Amino acid sequence: MFSSMPWQPLILGLKFQIRIADLEATDFMERRCPQCGTVTRLATWHLHALFPAHIRLVDLEAKMTCRKCGRAGPQPWSLWRAHPPVRPVERR
């Protein structure tokens, strides 16, 4: 799912102000475990399914747990947005 489109880093403002409701359908949150280096990607729909939309993303840091090593606590994260390739319009 994540490899089919080009992705670009997303900046929505200051990290402590961004809420789940600020994300669009083409966004995802990428987090990296500082202990084992495992990268996990969470799609926007997944965040909406797990948490209320008014939750700030920095508040989710304490609830994150690495699935590989089990480390709980803050993990560095970043936001990405898909930019579908632009195809030229065919004229007849």
**Domain boundaries, given as residue ranges, for the chain:** 7-82
Q: What is the pTM of this model?
A: 0.72
Please tell me the predicted confidence (pLDDT) of residue 92.
Answer: 73
Structure tokens at 75: 């993990």
Residue pair 53/22 in contact (Cβ under 8 Å)? The answer is no
CA torsion angle for 27, 33, 37, 38 (degrees, to 10)?
-60
CA atoms of 73 and 45, how far apart (whole Å): 23
Which residues, 6 or more positions from 70, have their beta carbon under 8 angstroms from its beta carbon?
Answer: none
pLDDT in tens, the chain (92 residues): 555 567 777 777 777 888 999 988 888 888 888 889 899 888 999 989 999 999 998 888 778 888 888 888 888 888 988 877 777 777 77
